Amino acid sequence: MTCQEIRDQLSAYMDKMLPTAQMRVIAEHLSLCPHCRGELQQLEETVALLRQVGEVEPPPDLTDAIMDKIQTVAQEDKGAAPIWRRFQNRKYYGGLIAAAACLLIAAIIVGRGLPSFKMAADGGLSEGITEDVGDYNALSLPRIAPGDMRLEMDAVEEEGKDFTPARAFGEKRMARMVSKEAHLTLLVEDVDREFDRVVFLVEGAGGFVQNSGTWEKGKQRVSNLTLRVPVDRFSDILAQLAELGQVEGRELGGQDVTMEYVDTEARLRNLKRQEERFLDILQRADTVEDILQVEGELERVRGEIEALTAHLKNLDDLVGLSTIDMELRQLKVSARRIAPPSLAGVMTAALKASISTFNDILYFFATAIVIGGGIIPFLPFLLLAYLGYGWYKKKRAGEGK
């Protein structure tokens, strides 16, 4: 054994806390090694010194203070609402706020899938309360009268006999097959600057510029842009675009392509079945003449399938991306003229702003109530979790932590 190993055990040796054999080995080493002996002595002296240190006296009122505290807490525990009493403690505020925030986020995430939230998001709220956006929303769902739909369906059914599953599919999409369009003419001070802003805005929203051009018309600079934007951001983007300048003209339109879509789909299905049938026949054809004839037919059918598929894709594109035609025209600014804002204009703007804010507030509360309602089903679980946590803590304390 090296001296270091011996020294590591001297403390235990001193307290006779080593096995007998070990004790003997160390005793033997100590009788031979003055260094380790010195080490042991230092340890013994240190400990002796520590033992000389007396106890400090606790404050004389400590016993009573502790008993008082115990009585107070015991009383509180018996009190009517211990949970609420505990929440009065500032120590818990941080945790509570964090828990509430988590809950809110969870509720929003889960809530998006729940009908209560959807109801609010889909219309209940926005239709009733919002003012400006309502104009655009109104055009988003020009629903097809059920009667019309049935007629169209019947017509289609004559063509394909196994149309039933597809019909359900068609019906589901039908209400949404609208391609939205808008024309917006803006007067702006600096056409090129606003042009850049439009591009930036549209691209930021996940859309793109399909066509654009700028030229001088007379002495006026004019830009034309054809914008394609995701349909769900349509109204939103339109409102933002309108803020870039003075709106000279605005036109909104929607084209219902539902029937066209269903029709094309049905024809496509039929053609595909025909294709299969021709392939089947081709297998069984034995004369060259037959084969050539069937192949000719196949080619025709395949060509039609391709055309229809492309058409469908085009329709999808039209519906998924709305079109905004935009014209930016330079505002003629005459430098000499002073144009103070009219009082009436200011008042109107102020009124508008106040209505808009009021609507925002109402919308906020409505949303809060909806989310609150959405949370209620979670409450029993939360209560359970809280009780479980309390029980666990108590148990831990019971074990001496």
Partner 1 sequence: MKSDAELVDLFKKGNQDVFRQLLERYEKKVYNLAYRMLSNREDARDISQEAFLKAYFALPSFRGDAAFSTWLYRIATNLCLDLLRQRKNKVVFSLDEPFQTEEGVLERQLPTCEDGPETIVEQREFQRLIQRLIHTLPAEQRLVLVLREFQELTYEEISQTLECSLGTVKSRLSRARSALGKKLLASGEPFAFPHRLKEGKGGNRV
Nearer to partner 1, 12 or 138 (CB): 12
Nearer residue to partner 1 within complex by CB, 172 or 395: 395
Q: Do the beta carbons of residue 281 and residue 175 sit within 8 Å?
A: no
Of 208, 261, 205, residue with least CA distance to 236: 205
DSSP H or E stretch at residue 188: strand 178-188
Q: Which is nearer to partner 1, 72 or 214 (CB)?
A: 72
Assess contact for 241 and 184: CB atoms under 8 A.
yes
- Taking alpha carbons only, the member of 323, 326, 320 closest to residue 197 is 326
At closest approach, how far in Å is the CB of 63 from partner 1? 6
> What dihedral do alpha carbons 228, 229, 232, 236 form, nearest 10°?
-120
Q: State the nearest-atom distance from the C-beta of 105 to partner 1, in Å.
A: 29
**Nearest distance in Å: CB 97, partner 1:** 21
Distance CA 254, CA 136 (A): 11
Crossing angle between the packed helical segments 3-14 and 20-32, to the nearest 10 degrees: 120
Q: What distance separates the 2 farthest-apart alpha carbons in the chain? A: 120
Minimum CB separation from partner 1 for residue 12, in Å? Answer: 5
Which of 270, 5, 232, 266 minimizes the C-alpha distance to 137?
A: 232
Minimum CB distance to partner 1, residue 370 (Å): 42
Closer CB to partner 1, 62 or 106, in the complex: 62
**How far is residue 15's CA from residue 40's CA, in Å, rounded to a whole number?**
11
**Min dist. Cβ of residue 2 to partner 1 (A):** 15
Residue closer to partner 1, measured from CB, 91 or 332: 91
Q: Reduced to 3 states, what is the DSSP secondary structure of residue 291?
A: helix
Footprint of partner 1 (CB under 8 A): 7-12, 15, 17, 34, 37-39, 41-59, 62-63, 65-67, 69-70, 73-74, 77, 394-395, 397-401
Closer residue to partner 1 (CB): 57 or 162: 57
- What's the min distance (Å) between Cβ of 383 and partner 1? 23
Rank residues 72 and 211 by Cβ distance to partner 1 and give the closer one: 72
